[in-house]
A and B are shown apart, each in its own frame.
Chain A
Amino acid sequence: MGLVKKDRIRAKLKSGETTIRVLLAHPMHTGRGEDDAGNLIDAEFIQDIRCWRNDEEVLTIKCGTATATNPYFSFQLIDGEQGDQITIRWVDNLGAKGTAETTVK
């Protein structure tokens, strides 16, 4: 069982740059994999991830099926202050949504 299924996000300010790390909990089925019984698993993958800093949209990531299970992203933002609100929202191909929020430390 290991990890609890939960989106994780960390944001840290270091020498004037905000580093953001995101780990989303998602199976990312491509539609070609099989389950234990040999049946195809339907495609289920995140298509769209957006990131906001406070109210400003800073990044959009579009994913295909080739993004790994439990997608991980790490990127940097110019400037930033401690206490900035970072929000990530994702939508998958079945319309499921998720949000992860944190403040910059």
Chain B
Amino acid sequence: MVDNINQQRRSVLKGAISASTLALVAASGLLLPQRLLAHWPSDAFNAETVEDALLALLGQAEIADDAALQFKVGSPPSYAVNGASVPIEIRSGLAKIERIAVLVDKNPFPLALSLEMTPAMKLPFKSMIKIAEDSEVIAVMRVNGKLYKTSRFVEVDIGGCA
């Protein structure tokens, strides 16, 4: 009888220990893949307006609307047949660019790309993005605490945010 109770006690203890270990591991975040990506700025990427996304990513700064940032969207410019892959190209004569962001106004989540530059890197930068419908596409770069912003309106034949 005593043996039997002891046996039960053991298994209860064992269960409790493994449950608490699991809870600890889960709490420490080792099981969550997000943990690895803690540096991904989810606030900025999940923002639903351009303003929120910019604020979350680049912070508050004076915006200088400037020709220092050359920006091309679509090919031919400002037109895209297929919104699922629209070429973009960013050029600038400025040095020491800290960050560049590309946003699409009408997309469900406007922020498309964010580049963190080092001095070794040089523009032009080219890539392809998805654009849901005819929309303003905005490029913002942060240089020396100042933001430079340029936008282009792009017509899209087939929306590409599926």
Partner among A63, A69, A74, A95 whose Cβ is within 8 Å of the Cβ of B126: A74
Stretch at the interface among B65-73, B112-120, B139-147, B148-156: B112-120
Interface of A is mostly: strand
Contact between chains at B121 and A93 (CB < 8 Å): no
Query: How distant is the Cα of A49 from the Cα of B107 in the complex, in angstroms?
Result: 22
Residues in B with CB closer than 8 Å to A73 are 125-127
Which of A32, A34, A62 counts the most chain B CB atoms within 10 A?
A62
- A66 beta carbon closer than 8 Å to chain B: yes
Contact between chains at A66 and B111 (CB < 8 Å): yes
Stretch at the interface among B10-18, B20-28, B38-46: B38-46
Contact between chains at A95 and B36 (CB < 8 Å): yes
- B59 beta carbon closer than 8 Å to chain A: no
Residues in A with CB closer than 8 Å to B37 are 47-48, 91, 93, 95
Q: Which A residues are closer than 8 A to B by beta carbons?
A: 17, 30, 32-34, 47-48, 53, 56-69, 71-79, 91, 93-95
Known: A61-B113, A62-B115, A78-B122. 20 other contacts (CB 8 A): A30-B162, A32-B161, A33-B162, A34-B162, A47-B37, A47-B40, A48-B37, A59-B116, A59-B118, A61-B115, A66-B110, A66-B112, A68-B128, A72-B126, A72-B128, A74-B124, A77-B120, A78-B119, A78-B120, A93-B37
